[in-house]
Every structure is written in structure tokens, then in C-alpha cells.
Chains A and B, each alone.
Chain A
Amino acid sequence: MTGQSAGSLWAQLQGAGLVQGEMPPPGDVDSPWYFRVLQGFAGWFAAFFLLGFVGIAFEIFMESALASMTAGALLCAAAALLFRARADSDFACQFAFAISLTGQAMILFGIGRLFEAELRAITLLVVAVQALLFALIGNFLHRVWSATCAALAAVLALGAFELYSLTPGVMAVCLALTWLNEFRWPPRASAARALGYGLAIAALVYLYTPPQFWTWPSEAQDPGGQLIAPLLAPRIGQGVSVCLLGAALMWTAFTMLRRQAVAMGSRPGLAMLGVALLLAVLSYKAPGVGITCLLLVVGFAHGNAPLAGLGVVALLAYLSQYYYLMQVSLLEKSLWLMGIGLSLLLARLALRWVWPASHAGSGGDA
């Protein structure tokens, strides 16, 4: 958008009393998502070589857990300062990103050496470190990375605490909480978006990875050999998870209807709530369907094509992984998928009757 067309948009919104003050100068509006993906990949590459350099040139850091963690923390602090001082320089930001990744790898190495097989402590510490980095480093790409790492470590932590069955529900609630509040605090919208993308990428990884990766055997958590009793029976956990997933889907539908000023009791309102409820019920044996639908719907609702695209990719990834899921027989999975598919097609027929094209404007577009 040129200064003029940005200006006309500003004037239009100002005329409607929706913005106030002077129009801010144009910022970085020419960086689509794939530029950031490119920078992310390059950052990984560079961090790999920098880590190799540190490992060879400063061997002491690889021999002592404390030295490794201290050096890693110093590198992260240097990255934070560099991001802050030279936010407008591509080279400085890319360098800061790479040294931060190197520092994080060293911290992780130190934590791993210090706690060895204590998966609970390791995962919780990783969540804490990434949360701290998310708060301290304002760079968008870095925040997406921190949020992704923290979310994946949290999934591992749920597995380590024998609460893995809660994961789909907790993930859906976190996604809904983050994305539905994207516009709530305008100055923090960027941080909310970074957190939301991080959670969405983590959801994609979680849905594509076999469950056994996230649920380590109890012996690995307790070197003493004592089996740790599950905090929550898997069946109860699964029930709670489905309820959380359903709550996230229904809350999404409520928020969208409120935003569109559509009455809950109107035909479009009932149609949307009905579809959300249907998806929640049908996600009982295939929770990935509910999570990916949430991403797709929120992506559409917020005019966010990359998020909706991520939802589609996550759905396809989930289906390819679901085929190999051992906990449910292939026959049961096939019947479940056919059932969901048929229900959605029937719901579409019902939708055409409940909310025909002529009623499009009935809900208002305010």
C-alpha cells in the first residue's frame, strides 16, 4: 500500500471515528510469511555452524554443564541487546537470531547434562527459558521460535507427568485463547500473533508425530525404577480433553457471532453453533480434526490466509499420521472418519436450508 492508499484507508477509518491521532509512518508491510520462513531456515543453518565453532574453539563449554549454561545465557543476552540496538538491520537481526539459537542449544545441553533423565525437570525448564526469551526479545521471528519450542516442551511435559491424554484439549484452548484475543490489545497484537503462530506450528508438529514420541516410559522419568502413578486415568483425561476442545470450538463460534453482531437465536447463529457442536462431538476419536478446524476457521475469520493454510496442512498431516495410530483399530478409524465426513456433508445440506443465500444479510455485517 502506498503512502497515498494507506492514507486513504487512514482517512476512511478516521472519518468513521475508528482511529485517532496522526497516521504512523509506514513500517514493515513488505515481509510475507515465506520471507520469515527463509530467515528461520538460514538462522538454523548459521546456528549449526556457530555451535560447531563454539564446540571446537571453546571445549570447556561442552565439558561443564554450568559453563555451557552460563555461556548460552550470555549469548542469548547478547542477542537480545543486538535485536534491541539494531532492529532495522537485516544482518544484525539475522546474526542475533543465529547467536540466540546457538545460546539456546548450549543452555539445553547444560540442562540435559545437569538433570540427565529427569524429563519433567528438563521440559519445565525449557518452557521457562523459552517463556523468558519470548518476553525479553521482541523480534517477531524469534518470538515465533520461542513459542513453538515452549509449546512442544509443554507437550513433552504433559507426557512426562502422565497427562498426555489432555494434550489436544489444552492445545485447542491455548490456540483459541491466543487467536481470539489477537485484536484485544492493539500494541501487543504482534506478540499475540507470534504466540499464536508458535502454537499453530507446534500443533502441526504434534499432530504429525506419533504419540509414542511424546509419552516416554515411566522408567525413563524415574531412574529408581518406581513406577509413577498416573495423575489422571487416560480415559478420564480423554473425556476432559474432548470437553476442553468442545469449549474452545463453541467459544470460537460465540466470539465470531458476537463480532458479526449476529443473534445466537437467529438462523445463522444456530447454524454456526450447531456446526461447532457437531465438530466437538465428532472430534472424540479424532481430536486432530477439531484442532485443525479451529485453525482454519480462525484463519478465515481474521483474514489470515497463512494461518488457514497451516490448518489445511495440519489436517492433511494429521490424517496421514492417524492411519498409523495404534490405539484405535483401522476399522474403527475408517468408520469414524466416514461418519464425520458424512455428518459434515449432511450438515451442509441442513445449512443451505437453515441459512440460505437470501438470508445472507439478516445477521448484519456491522
Chain B
Amino acid sequence: MQRARHTILDWAGQGAGFPEGLARAMQASGALPGAEAWRRFASLFLLLLGTLLFTAGVLFFLAFNWDALGRYARFALVEALVVAALLPVAWFGLERVAGRAALFAAAVMLGGLLALVGQTYQTGADTYELFASWAAFILPWVLVSRFVPLWMLWLLLVNVALALYYETFGGMLGVLFGPDRLLWLLLAVDTLALALWDGLGWRGTGWLRPRWAPRVIATACGALVTTLALFAVLDEDRATRLAEIAVWLGWLGAAYLVYRRVIVDLYVLAGGVLSVIVVVTAFLVRALAKNGFTDAAWLFTGLAVIGMSAAGSWWLRRVAAQARLEREQVA
């Protein structure tokens, strides 16, 4: 669908004639949705948007902390909403999107319930405990759901819990647990999640196939590993700088092998190119700044960035063309 769309739009840009209009040609090629696709889209759109907005409304309501509602009324309300969200799960089952969307809403509202417990009883628990217990409580639902957004919510909660844990104890045990340790930890967790996700997806777990989720995780991993590499490049006194550069190079190498040779995903490769541009630019700035960052250094760095991005774009387009040919040969 996307390929036919791109091809026809490319023809349009080159001045090809469309006697009955471009839209008609797009429709005939299957690039635009038909009536049944529209019906399915409308149904899914209303279901997911309705669930998202209703759940957000409930969270806003809890945050408002309305005085007119007593403690028990508030608990009753939120618990009733969690149960109400679970009813469609029982009714539709987890095979249908409606059931999964309802389970997602229940998982979010459960977090609201836990926050309400903390808000009402002032338990003295740290914020990270809220997110950690939230992630722990919804884990059984996540495991049975086979629903990508719910898994992403769970991974987000784990990341937030770890970051808040660091914020709480990082100051106390700063020597043992500096800010870069958090980056290492999150990188390890997210890389493991990415490896499991794409590994299982590649071995045939159908519901893991959509690419948006691993791309989001890969973006997080790329940002973390690039930040570590920037620390190493910009601070020459770091004891761990060699390890950080080695991990950055290793991560890029592994990403190239996996996303070029096994699962072709140009999004991750493009992210890798951006990471290289950022780190090499930081290295240049650091090296040139030793003798004062002169006007020539500004110009040279600017031209180097242009050169790297032009070379990266050329390489990515070449890989894209090769991947297209490979795909079509298989087809």
C-alpha cells in the first residue's frame, strides 16, 4: 500500500498524466483504503480513542483530589472503574481488541488506585515504590494480554521506577551509584527488552511483529548509549571512557548486523547514523577546542557534519534500494 503510494506520487511529481485524477489512480492501485477498511478503522478509532480519553479523564479526576468526595467514596469510585473496565475483558475475551483495550484501561486505572492509596494514607513510601508495585501488580495481565501497548506501558513503568529509585538513593550512595550507572542500567534493561522482542518476533510470535514498539525501544537504547559515548568523549578523565566507547561501538555493530542482515529495519540504521554524527561531532569539537575554537574550527566542524550526513544518507538509500530488491526477489 505504502509502496504503491510512493511510486504513484513519484510519477505525479515527474509530470505523468492522470486523466481521471490522481486520487482515482491511487484508489485503483489499492494505495487508499476501501469501504471495509474504513469500517474497521472507524470501529478501532472510536474504541481506542474513547478508551484513551476516558482513562485520561479518570486520572485527571483522581489528581484533582475532590474534597466533596469522602475517602471511601473515592476508593469505591476507582475500584468500581477498575472492575467496570474488567467487565468487557470477561465479555469480549482477550482475542478481541475491545477486550485488550479494556484491560489496558484497567491497568492504567490500577495505577490510579495505588496513587490514591499513597495520597490518602500518606504511607511514606517513595515514589519509585508506586511505579515498581504498579508494574508488579499488572504483570500477570501484561503476560496474558499479548497486547503491544500494554507491554510498552509496563516497560515504561519499569524505566520510570528505576530512574526514581536512582533519584532517591543516588544522592545517598552517589559514589556507588552515579548518574552514568543509571544510564548503564537502563541501557541493559532496554537492550534486553529489545533483544527479546525482536528475537521472539523473528522466531514467529505474530503479535510482536508490528515495528513501532521495537523502534521506540531502539530509540531509547540509542539515546542512552549515545549519551554514554558523549560522556566518554567530552570527559577525558573518566575511568570508564574506554568501556563506554567500546559499548557504543559494540552496540552500533550489533545493531548493524541485526537490522541489516537479519531483520531489515532502516529506522534503526538511520538512528545509528545520527548517533555517529553526534559522537564524531562532539569528538571534533573537543579536539579542536584544545587550541581555542577558532573560526576555521567552526567552519570545519560544520562542513564535517554536512559531509557525514551526506555520506550517511547515500549509504542509507543504497541499503534501502538493496533491501527492496531482496524483498522483491523473495516475493
Contact = CB atoms under 8 A, between A and B. Distances in A.
Contacts of B314: 90
Given A25-B14, A49-B299, A340-B53, 17 more contacts: A42-B305, A46-B306, A95-B306, A95-B310, A189-B12, A193-B9, A259-B32, A260-B38, A301-B32, A303-B2, A303-B5, A334-B61, A338-B53, A341-B53, A341-B55, A345-B51, A348-B43
Interface stretch (B15-23, B163-171, B243-251): B15-23
A329 B328 CA distance: 56
Interface residues of B, number: 93
B47 interface: yes
Contacts of A225: none
Contacts of A186: 12, 16, 18, 22
A318 to B, nearest CB: 10
A348 B309 contact: no
B57 A348 contact: no
A302 B11 contact: no
Nearest to A342: B54
B113 to A, nearest CB: 16
A231 interface: no
A291 to B, nearest CB: 13
B60 A330 contact: yes
A268 B1 CA distance: 24
A303 B32 contact: yes
B237 interface: no
Contact of A49 (B2, B59, B305): B305
Contact of A35 (B63, B311, B317): B317
A269 to B, nearest CB: 11
Interface stretch (A70-78, A199-207, A357-365): A357-365
A24 interface: yes
Interface in A4-53: 5-6, 9-10, 12-13, 16-21, 23-32, 34-35, 37-39, 41-43, 45-50, 52-53
Interface string B276-312: 0110010000000000001100110111011111111
Interface in A298-344: 300-305, 309, 315, 319, 323, 329-331, 333-344
B108 to A, nearest CB: 12
B180 interface: no
Interface in B224-258: none
B313 A38 contact: yes
Nearest to B19: A20
Contacts of B56: 319, 337, 341
Contacts of A31: 317, 320
A337 B26 contact: no
A337 B57 contact: yes
Contact of B50 (A21, A50, A341): A341
Interface of A: 1-2, 5-6, 9-10, 12-13, 16-21, 23-32, 34-35, 37-39, 41-43, 45-50, 52-53, 56-57, 89-91, 93-95, 98, 183-184, 186-187, 189-190, 193, 256, 259-260, 262, 268, 271-272, 275, 289, 293, 296-297, 300-305, 309, 315, 319, 323, 329-331, 333-345, 347-348, 351-352, 355, 357, 359-366
Interface in B316-330: 316-317, 320-321, 324-325, 328
Interface of B is mostly: helix
A303 B295 CA distance: 47
B273 interface: yes
Contacts of A339: 57
Contacts of A56: 294-295, 298
B31 interface: yes
B306 A38 contact: no
B33 interface: yes
Contacts of A95: 303, 306, 310
Contact of B306 (A35, A42, A262): A42
A325 to B, nearest CB: 11
Contacts of A275: 42, 46
Contacts of A359: 39
Contact of A91 (B6, B273, B310): B310
B284 to A, nearest CB: 9
Contacts of B12: 186-187, 189-190
Given A301-B33, A330-B63, A53 B42 contact: no
A45 B274 CA distance: 11
B28 A38 contact: no
A335 B64 CA distance: 11
Closest 7 CB pairs of A and B: A341-B54, A42-B309, A337-B57, A338-B57, A344-B50, A49-B302, A334-B60
B58 interface: yes
Contacts of B35: 260, 262, 268, 360-365
Given A13-B25, A186-B12, A338-B54, A42 B308 contact: yes
B157 to A, nearest CB: 16
Nearest to A357: B39
B83 to A, nearest CB: 16
A193 B9 CA distance: 10
B46 A361 contact: no
